[in-house]
Structure 1
């Protein structure tokens, strides 16, 4: 493929420009050199009262009195203490503190094994103490403000605030600076010589560090160095920089974002995710990122995060890509633009108890995740087949009754095809007035059919829009919008009869407003009704219905315990039955229907027109196609029957100390339901629907199942007829559909203690526990070393040479669906999905996720994951072995965010042409 040379030079110049701005040398201002603190001639009194006392004991000339009051040399009160002794040497004018010594002076604090204060030179020397058993202990800890230094020894001048620090460890942000010699210039500047910067947790033997020959540290702001090179396990690498800059700001600051580089299949070399980060203020930020490809393709991303404590938080991202395939003039040249907008907003519950605003927006091109070239959008994102959004605001007005209202906007879009339909509501309004009891007593509880009568008022308004990507947010999108309001007033009551039966009755009044209706005609050629005219203007219809139900609860107990003294495993089984019968009446509202005209009716006989009229083929409602649909045309009088069951058992607890039997669920639910339509002239019985669920193996496996049983038979053309299946030579019911789903989560975590063959409990996390005899280390020296450690009484923790308990987890999901509505008797779908992770060692883990379509005999989306924790580094490898997104990615880099650009990444991108 030919690549434009100008665009390559542009990309390289952009890289040079970023690298130039990414590093800088911060040179310290010239100042006077620091003389050795031992030659400092300035005297200082560490304690005014103590000095006055010492002077009073010395011989004084009583005839000489100084009338000028001396200036106080100390700005703060000095406090000191020590465990063993505090000794003052009058001759040398020194104060000695030994063992757990501590001195406080203003914001400065020093703790050490030994501290010497020299009055004559105003210096404080702190060091550890040497023990013949433990060695060098109680190393000094120097604290000033938020800065903490842990050296071997320190020499500090209380007057100039300067110090010499030997073999120090200083935490700076996420990393630590280890220096052989550090000179503290003042409260905010340190100079170091022969230092090491690392983010490793093991500071005694870091797995990596950046060697700093010379460096300047401004705590909480920056580290500026001279020549610096990377060492891995004390082995130098050829990576050296003449100077470097490490930002250490405790606040977020603006700065350049370093891009990643690579090569894409047919678009040349690229730079991705490079740009600038704007730290706008403490509540909001903005990142402007861009992608550039040498064939002319480019991308732009804007990302912002905002947050205010106890108020709200959210993030927003806009992504745009201009993709060019091949080169201009070639037959396969193509240019395509895709975009995506995401917004997430959540309100803190403390911000406003009576109102709430939330947003979750994901809108854009239908093919964005399938065609995007940016690395952050690749991977499993291509499986996204639906984009959905929701923005809502709700408000509650407290009172009696309570009033609520909400405004929302929704969006749903399929990404399977480029011409996918987009459904939107802009907006939806919902309002309600809380439940009211007009006949209830003002005092006492509500009893009886009259006092329990209650009513509500609900209103819902929608403006629905249906469009495609081509007309998204264009004028044509709003031309087909349909709006309307629906008002409902439900009235209900409930009461008990015969003490054990609960009865409820309700009626519902419904009124629909619309601003657009439709006129239809019957097209004889198409043999259907077609819309010919849209009538704009206000119109409305009103409907109502009635329903009642009665139900009860029956408890059954099967007791297996007998007075024979036997301790049976199953104590009892309880069966709970909840039968319910309901009755519904839905009147027919024929007045909202009319007869359509017949077009192209030449040659049609009166008998044919009469057949069309008798079958209601010419009847239609002008409200058909409006937001809330058309009113009911057919009278319905139906009875519903349902039966809900669940089964529980009491069993003997395995724990011998338990005083009560253990309760388990045999079946969480087992439900049956059907209906009978009194107003229908045929097929009055509805199919029997059955569904249930249970959990097995201590709730690790969940099973859901369901089936549909039809009592009516089929004719020779597999059409349902008004004849029971049992009367047609078949069974009582005909199985038309069935489904089964099962999910199983397995893990070896929380398994309790292992046991050896002698029955002794073994805790795998306890290194002093009993080890299995058949465990072979393969190295006798290791056993000897372990025994030596035990003899010395040292707790070394679990051995790193083996892991007798490997953590793992597996998730399995199985689904099968059966269809037999027209005697096809086939498995409509049959699949098995699984995923899992294994921690081979403390630092090694592997994982995989896949599935198998048993019906079509093919694997679903499959991915393998390998990860290695390298202490301060992280290495991972992901692999998609097949599918149109076949690819792999290898990454190794420092885990710390401050050095996240110190990495190596290699990937094989999927072939977009597939």
Structure 2
């Protein structure tokens, strides 16, 4: 060890001046100089820039073991978890050497005690990160030589033996491997780039390149290539898929252009073309503004040609579909809301479409849409209003019902006699009323007249005002009594005028009268109910039964309602003779009593009743729960389970009727078993009246006609079950992209009717498995995750002694992972009445690490088809794929 020291010289005494300096100014002169204007030195700005120093930035460095500096060689040595930061450059490595004489930094890993090469360098400059074996970097020229580097570029990784860094934005590599594999030490595939230029975040330009699979070269390659690399959304061409279809020849599908409109919206324009002349195009757009709203829009159009022109089976049709989904963030404006869910178009679209994405939706028989805006005005009372446009379309009958629009407004409940503080008690304090208004413009049309002027011809428009007045209070401590009356006023802009044709003996509508008209009605109702609790205790002294107690909750209720007759709105039809002349009323006509009608018939909100009604309603609801002994011996309390969620009975008695005064008894119930995995619902209708020989209901009880107390006229049972293994519970099929596609098209939130098969779509590029931890063996999974979904439904009809099962079906779907890499799924069903399988789909998937392989097969039915796909998961190389399909025949 050497040490050096130097003595600090002693300070001498200061020499004070003996003569007063003549240049010392007094304070007044100093103040004058301080206020004088300072002149700019003309020589301050020099045209010659000063030379930069040796280092432009401060060098920060650190290491765990040691940091030494060799003054003679002008080198700084850092060892063990060394780190250096120079400007925007950062290097972490096991060993770093800085040569100040050459402005070079050399970084490499170190060898640990067992001979493993550890702490390999991590070079970061700006947003670019490189992980090489070693690196030589020049701080002055910003150039570098990088050995055995691994660099991530927009979802892919470039592995190169030698990389030359030219500057901040250009790299040259030799024999580089471009891959999206997660195993970078032994990638299962890569594209060999013999010589390439990389501009990080922008592009990769390469010469001869071809595909290698597990280091085995394939003939798939290019003489030169261009890989766009961008961290932002960019526009570009979407490469189509190709294939052959049964009767339409060869095709190109899903090709087009992607427009990156902005950070908040995009647009994909896709098209299909078949060599027989069929074609189609689609517009797909997604948009979102954080904390405001998000949504998506899609329009699809297909021109389908079958066979050849001139042949008897030649067909030509056009179908379209429009979908729009919009949701508003509730936090952006709590007092207003706008939402949209639109799915409309040709009734035959899902049955005739050639696109695989519609596989799970062709069984849909209803298309529905709703666009609504609502706003709330806070205060006392609260005011709400909403505007809604709705659409409902039956794809079998092709009938369309629309409201364009529906207006609804309401004023919150007002309690005029309620105390300012405390709770409301008694019949007077609970009196409340509110005001509701509803206006509709209702349109009923067909598919062929959709959005044509004819669809608006028979539109019905009207307003309905209602003011309900109600109160409730306790009666005899245990009973709850509620009473209400409702005033209803209907405004309409179309009424009718009827006449009686004496020659045909029929009433017919002769004219529709345009103009404002209105009618007013009112009614009264009251209900009395209570709740009864019962407990059946099975505990006995010295015994500990499994079922310890059963709890029964009953809620009986009796109600009364009265509706006056509003016959003042009724009149007799005019009688027209054979010459077409009005002859007035005919008193001797047999059907004279049937000549009464109201001009509000067929109104949008119904018509006033001419008959007085007074009825009593009776209902009883039940709930059954049990306390059972818990299997867990450490549990201190018994476990509560539900036996029956509900068991309801209801009927009514018409006091004003002269016959058939009792209505049928309606029974319904439901329960859930096996930890809510099995849901069962059932219902039945029991009629107390008998039938005559013509199967018509007569005013005679069935028991008095020699039968039972009630006739079972209808019954139904539905059950749904969802079982899975412990590992299968982790799967959430509702978040599956194909299930979400079904929901957007108005389908089910499960796969009982199959799943969409658009494997090439970017929507389905997500790695759905994200997968579980890998097993030691990729060929056998001793923990096999599985899930099973079953739905059962049966309906019985016996209203006219037909005594038949009207429908009886069993549907099921399931998924099973045979191994960590193999999965199998199926959707099918069986019609037990007609004895045949329903729509069946079999699905196979093989996880090939960076690749995936899918096979979907519909083995029989008119939708018989299959679809095979193999391709890369990553969206950056999604066009590197192979697919083959047999599409179903056209169904008109």
TM-score between the two structures when normalised by the length of structure 2: 0.87
In structure 1, distance between residues paired with 2:801 and 2:698: 14
- State the SS of the aligned residue for 2:181: coil
Q: Distance in 2 between matches of 1:708 and 1:729?
A: 20
In the alignment, which of 799, 804, 823 is matched to residue 845 of structure 1?
823
Distance 1:527 1:253, change over 3 A: farther
Question: Partners in 1 of 2:775 and 2:215 — Cα distance?
Answer: 26
Secondary structure (helix, strand or coil) at the match of 2:451 reads coil
Aligned length: 800
Report the equivalent of 1:652. 629
1:381 aligns with 2:361: yes
Distance 1:711 1:523, change over 3 A: farther
Going from structure 1 to structure 2, the CA distance change for 1:802 and 1:643 (only over 3 Å counts) comes to: same
Q: Pick from 591, 613, 617: which aligns with 2:592? A: 613
Superposed displacement of residue 600, structure 1: 6.8
Between stretches 196-205 and 527-536, larger displacement belongs to: 527-536
Matches within 5 A, 1:154-169: 154-169=135-150
Determine the C-alpha separation between the residues in 2 that align with 1:796 and 1:681: 76
Question: What is the Cα deviation at residue 108 of structure 1?
Answer: 1.2
1:574 and 2:548 are equivalent in the alignment = no
1:141-160 mapped onto 2 (5 Å cutoff): 141-160=122-141
3-state SS in 1 of match to 2:164: strand
Q: Deviation per CA, 1:854-903, whole angstroms, max 9, x where unpaired?
A: 01111111100001110000111001111211100000000001111100
Q: Distance in 1 between matches of 2:527 and 2:793?
A: 35
Note if contact 2:336-2:373 (Cα within 8 Å) is conserved in structure 1: yes
Aligned-partner Cα distance in 2 for 1:815–1:688: 22
| Residue 454 (structure 1) aligned to one of 411, 429, 432 | 432
**1:510 paired to 2:491:** no
**Relative contact order, CA 8 A, sep 6+: which one is greater?**
2
Deviations 1:166-191 (A, max 9, x none): 00111111111111011111111111
Offset of 1:312 from its aligned partner?
Answer: 1.0
Kindly report which structure 2 residues correspond to 1:597-746, keeping only aligned pairs within 5 A, or say none: 597-598=574-575, 611-614=590-593, 617-746=594-723
Map 1:26-45; keep pairs closer than 5 Å: none
- 1:612 is displaced (CA, Å) by 2.1
Q: Show the counterpart of 1:494.
A: 472
Match of 1:479 among 450, 457, 470: 457
1:299 and 2:280 aligned: yes
Are 1:439 and 2:420 an aligned pair? Answer: no
Alpha-carbon offset, residue 521 of structure 1 = 3.0
Determine if the alignment matches structure 1 residue 256 to structure 2 residue 237.
yes
Match of 2:770 in 1: none
Q: Give the aligned partner of residue 71 of structure 2.
A: 90
- Partner of residue 100 from structure 1, selected from 81, 94, 103: 81
The C-alpha deviation readout for 1:526-571, integer Å capped at 9, x for no partner, is 765432210100000000000000111111111111222x222111
Separation in structure 2 between the aligned mates of residue 122 and residue 810 of structure 1, nearest angstrom:
67
How far apart are 1:267 and its partner, in Å?
2.5
Corresponding residue number in structure 2 for 1:826? 804
Structure 2: segments with no counterpart, 5+ residues: 8-48, 730-772
Mapped contact 2:727–2:785 kept (Cα < 8 A): no
Deviates more, 1:238-247 or 1:797-806: 797-806
For 2:586 and 2:832, locate their aligned partners in 1 and report how far apart those are by CA, in whole Å. 54
| Distance change >3 Å, CA 683–CA 451, structure 1 → 2 | same
Q: C-alpha separation between the residues in 2 aligned to 1:751 and 1:896?
A: 25
Q: Distance in 1 between the 2:84 and 2:411 partners?
A: 70
Residue 469 of structure 1 and its aligned partner are, at CA, apart by 2.2
Could you report, residue by residue, the CA deviation over 1:364-404 in whole angstroms, capped at 9, with x for unpaired residues?
A: 11112222223434x22321221111111111111111111
Relative to structure 1, the CA distance from residue 591 to residue 855 in structure 2 (aligned partners, 3 Å threshold; closer, same or farther) is same
**1:809 and 2:792 matched:** no
Tell me how far 1:524 sits from its aligned partner.
6.6
Summarize the Cα distance change of 1:341–1:357 in structure 2 as closer, same or farther, 3 Å threshold. same
SS at match of 1:126: strand
Matches of 1:504 and 1:698 in 2, distance apart? 37
Aligned to 1:401: 381
Distance of 2:501 and 2:827 partners within structure 1: 53
Separation (CA, whole Å) in 2 of partners of 1:231 and 1:248: 21
| Shift in alpha-carbon separation, 1:71–1:816, aligned structure 2, 3 A | closer
Structure 1: 4+ residue segments shifted above 6 A = 524-527
Alignment of 1:277-356 (within 5 A): 277-356=258-337
Change (3 A) 1:662 1:815: same
Q: What 5-or-longer segments of structure 1 have no aligned partner? A: 1-53, 58-67, 753-794
- Secondary structure at 1:383 match in 2: coil
Offset of residue 844 of structure 1? 0.4
The secondary structure found in structure 1 opposite 2:350 is: helix
| 1:217 equivalenced with 2:198 (yes/no) | yes
Query: What is the CA–CA distance in structure 2 between the aligned matches of 1:375 and 1:663, rounded to whole Å?
Result: 48
Residues in 2 aligned to 1:710 and 1:592: alpha-carbon distance in whole angstroms: 34
CA distance in 2, matches of 1:899, 1:796: 25
Alignment partner, residue 76 of structure 1: 57
Contact (CA 8 Å) 2:537, 2:548: kept in 1 or not? yes
Once the two structures are superposed, the pairs formed by residues 514-533 of structure 1 within 5 Å of their partners are 514-522=492-500, 529-533=507-511
Match of 1:414 among 394, 403, 416: 394
Task: Kindly state the Cα deviation for residue 335 of structure 1 after the two structures are TM-superposed.
Answer: 2.9
- Distance in 2, matches of 1:497 and 1:282, equals 64
**Structure 1 residues 725-755: Cα deviation after superposition (integer angstroms, max 9, x where no partner):** 1111111111111111111111121699xxx
Match of 1:10 in 2: none
CA distance in 1, matches of 2:676, 2:456: 51
Q: In structure 2, how many angstroms separate the alpha carbons of the residues matched to 1:373 and 1:869?
A: 27
Report the aligned-residue RMSD.
Answer: 2.3
**Structure 2 Cα separation of the partners of residues 805 and 97 of structure 1:** 50
